[in-house]
Amino acid sequence: MSFAQNRKKDDEVSQFEKDDLEKLRKELESVENNRKNLLEKFGSDNKVVKQLIDLALLANNMLRGEDLSTFVKRSVELLK
């Protein structure tokens, strides 16, 4: 809500303002979803990002089994 709308009571906000606010909320949600998808794609395609994520998991004792093995293999590959 804008500053002016914050000071208005619900019955003082026009339908146009309510519709405009709803439209902006939907646009913002769309932009946020698009951003999230782009970041997920970038992260899944980028070995360095995967490595950083795995390092964080390893530091918190959350990297085990096959994921740990993959991390070690990727570490050796990145060091070459």
What are 71's two structure tokens?
């991390």
| Stated pTM of the model | 0.56
Query: In whole angstroms, what is the distance from residue 25 CA to residue 22 CA?
Result: 5
Give the type of residue at 17. Answer: E
pLDDT score for 35: 96
What are 42's two structure tokens?
């970038």
pLDDT score for 13: 80
pLDDT score for 37: 94
What are 33's two structure tokens?
């979803």
| pLDDT per 10-residue tile (average), the chain, 80 residues | 60 85 96 94 88 95 96 93
